[in-house]
Amino acid sequence: MRSLILLKVARGILPVSTLFALYLLLRGHNEPGGGFIAGLVTASAIVLQALAFGTAATRERLTPLLRPATWVGLLIAASAGLIAVFAGDPFLTHYHAYLPLLGDGYYHLSSTLLFDIGVYMVVVGTAAMLVSVFAEPEL
């Protein structure tokens, strides 16, 4: 039996949790937080979707997006480290840039953000795969 409250809450949670995960991802590349916790927030929303709408419906909607996420994320995270190697620095040496904003402000960018995006994708892809595997009916 599916709960009407769970269905309504789950429908609204995925966009809100994705926005919150984006905030954690962007905030965390210079402070605590980052890709891992943002990935866990998104993964918990995916689990809620599977509980509310069933694993088959969730798998059908999200598998084309999430199946390659683990490997693409691993490639992005590794490339963040290889940028430094090609520049002659040790692996995972991070570089920084400042993006000017309107007025007197600026946004601080670093290659750490690229690494965190890769970690985020690995965590979300792995969690979605685990939900899919554990939700399979036993033979």
Closest CA to 74 of 38, 37, 122: 122
Q: Please say whether the beta carbons of 30 and 96 come within 8 A.
A: no
pLDDT at position 139 is 55
Q: How confident is the model at residue 29 (pLDDT cuts 50, 70, 90)?
A: low
Question: Whole-model pTM?
Answer: 0.84
Locate tokens 């953000």: which residue? Answer: 113
% the chain with pLDDT above 90: 27
Q: Which residues pair with 106 in a beta bridge?
A: 100
Question: Measuring CA to CA, which residue among 58, 61, 66, 84 is closest to residue 124?
Answer: 66
Q: What is the DSSP letter of 107?
A: E
What residue spans define the domains of the chain? 4-134
Residue 3 corresponds to which tokens in the numbers above? 């709960």
Cα 13 to Cα 35: distance, rounded to the nearest angstrom: 19
pLDDT of residue 27: 82
